[in-house]
Amino acid sequence: MKKLILILILNCLLICCGRNNSEKKSLATEKPTQDFSSLRFMETKLVEYDIDSLANFNEILKILDKIDCLSEYAMFKLDTEEKIYRIQPLQICESIFDYKLRQILYINSDKVTVNHQIKFPIDSLKKVLKNHLLNPNNDENYPSLTDKKLISINVDNNKDISEVKRLLLRIVSDVNELGAKVNFSFIFENHGIIKVIEE
């Protein structure tokens, strides 16, 4: 009888230890997540879309157009080997969004545009992002520290989604390298730089 009880206790211990080890393994394999969220109403739900499941940038824009942002917002997931990034772009609904031209940094696959008209090659992205998000030299072409900061993404619809993902990951990597907590929002749009008409 004592042997039977001893065997049962050992079996229970082995089963419990086995469960704990498998839980530790699953926790160890979970990737860290970094979110880039924009302004939104807290009662609205987030609907996640895996960027890898889309064909091109146009599909992102279609999702944003069809979503009723009064009840839900889109969250786009970029899964890498090391980390998962989730980007909730700014969706402009019925409210009027007030901003200055210098608050929007326009980025596409081959260039970066500052303050609506100053163009840089994409190789200057890291430097331009630093100036846009932190403005260490108080340059009037970039937003002040208290201004809203927007990063507008526009990728040619003919390009594969891998081009969009590569660009977004490059931006995220450069922002993370700044080492400072910065508050900004992504905007995904197809019209590019807004034309200013002076009268």
- pLDDT tens, position by position, for the chain (199 residues)? 555 554 545 454 445 544 444 444 444 468 999 999 886 666 778 899 999 999 999 999 999 988 877 788 899 999 999 999 999 998 876 555 667 888 999 999 999 999 888 999 999 999 999 999 999 999 999 999 889 899 999 998 888 999 999 999 999 999 999 988 888 999 998 866 655 544 4
Radius of gyration of the chain (CA): 23
CB of 141 within 8 A of CB of 102? yes
CB of 67 within 8 A of CB of 116? no
Q: Is residue 173 part of a domain?
A: yes
The H or E element spanning position 74 is: strand 72-79
Count of structural domains within the chain: 1
Q: Is residue 1 part of a domain?
A: no
Greatest Cα pair distance in the chain = 99
Q: Is residue 28 part of a domain?
A: no
Q: Is residue 105 part of a domain?
A: yes
Q: Is residue 58 part of a domain?
A: yes
CA 97 vs. chain centroid, Å, equals 20
Could you give the C-alpha distances from 68 to 41, 45, 63, in angstroms and in order?
A: 12, 11, 10
Owning domain of residue 104: 33-92+99-188
Q: Tokens representing 176?
A: 């993370």
Q: Is residue 133 part of a domain?
A: yes
Q: Is residue 88 part of a domain?
A: yes
The H or E element spanning position 45 is: strand 45-50
Q: Is residue 19 part of a domain?
A: no
Read off the pTM: 0.78
